[in-house]
Structure 1
């Protein structure tokens, strides 16, 4: 019987971070098993990719429901049907209700393309360039009811160059995301996290911690 954590990935688009998680999960010693890829958008390209990989998929179109609560009720049913233990958000463009977030407290993680707590929300790369920062990056964190809040699990930093556009910076950050997200999920699934009041402590014997604190590249 597998002891790997049954994990669902939620997407809304192409799911490039989903692909990095799926590839990592194919390693024999990886502690998370991807049992479901679900999207709130039927047209999401990532669903087609997941199907071709032989993964179980589901579409719960939020436009077909009268409220966020109704949408989340159906989504929860789908997660329950697949015996999901952990949820990884990978470009899932829906804000969850506090009730849903609390139900998955400390079992749902997200990746955001900035070094939180800086540049929460959308248009992160445009805002980073406008602010003149010299280092950008990405953050994996546990999900809380407030947008882009929650205990930070891992971060990776990348340099910002004078010639950068939002697109070139986004591409560099995305490369970092593809490294740090699988490492963070590995840590969470392996039970390498201890919780403080608003912070997590990482068990240094959990393995893979070098990737969790990626320096600028």
Structure 2
């Protein structure tokens, strides 16, 4: 059993969380951090036996305050890596300093193109011939950290935003676990 422990941060349905749980990872996912009480990803964590830390950011006076609480939980569980998977918050200085070089994100575009929210829709509406998925390190910006890996998909004339999203999610589910393993095994 791997001795590297990781946390996944997610805010939504958790399809990438599920893909990580089902993959043969070089680490143990020991904690799910979620900023949306009632998010579907919490059910996935429960079914997988992964502990959760759920918080409401509005219950804290600042980002630094809730990030300090998250760090406390991460240290309690022995986490050394953080994988963002649909976590809809920008990571602040508190977490960045505590886990420097150990926070990874997956984003549904070929960064630096189409950073931020609604990247799939933005690429589709821009009429580009291809888009893709990027795995990157987190820094203080929005989807601006150094890219680790990218893979592209063609946007077909008969695509809809929904069909494109399905293909991108399938790519994410293959790419993210592979990149996670490469990172952990290279350290």
| TM-score when normalising by structure 1 | 0.82
Offset from partner CA, 1:142-166 (integer Å, 9 cap, x none):
1111110112111121110112222
Superposition deviation, residue 181 in structure 1 = 0.3
Asked whether the equivalents of residues 106 and 136 of structure 2 are also in contact (C-alpha less than 8 Å), the reply is: yes
Corresponding residue of 1:78: 73
Indicate the SS of the match to 2:74: helix
Asked whether the equivalents of residues 21 and 48 of structure 2 are also in contact (C-alpha less than 8 Å), the reply is: no
Q: Report the Cα distance in structure 2 between the residues aligned to 1:99 and 1:70, rounded to whole angstroms.
A: 9
Corresponding residue of 2:21: 22
Asked whether the equivalents of residues 64 and 93 of structure 2 are also in contact (C-alpha less than 8 Å), the reply is: no
Corresponding residue of 2:56: 61
Task: Provide runs of 4+ in structure 1 moved above 3 Å.
Answer: none
Q: Report the Cα distance in structure 1 between the residues aligned to 2:66 and 2:116, rounded to whole angstroms.
A: 22
Indicate the SS of the match to 2:158: coil
Superposition deviation, residue 100 in structure 1 = 2.1
Structure 2's unaligned 5+ residue stretches are none
Note if 1:91 corresponds to 2:86. Answer: yes
Indicate the SS of the match to 1:190: helix
Q: Report the Cα distance in structure 1 between the residues aligned to 2:178 and 2:12, rounded to whole angstroms.
A: 22
| TM-score when normalising by structure 2 | 0.95
Corresponding residue of 1:212: none
Superposition deviation, residue 80 in structure 1 = 1.0
Note if 1:129 corresponds to 2:124. Answer: yes
Structure 1's unaligned 5+ residue stretches are 193-217
Which moves more between the two structures, 73-82 or 162-171? 162-171
Superposition deviation, residue 3 in structure 1 = 4.9
Q: Report the Cα distance in structure 1 between the residues aligned to 2:4 and 2:52, rounded to whole angstroms.
A: 17
Note if 1:13 corresponds to 2:8. Answer: no
Corresponding residue of 1:177: 172
Q: Report the Cα distance in structure 2 between the residues aligned to 1:170 and 1:3, rounded to whole angstroms.
A: 32
- Identify the structure with the greater helix proportion: 2
Q: Report the Cα distance in structure 1 between the residues aligned to 2:120 and 2:50, rounded to whole angstroms.
A: 32
What is the number of residues matched between the two proteins?
187
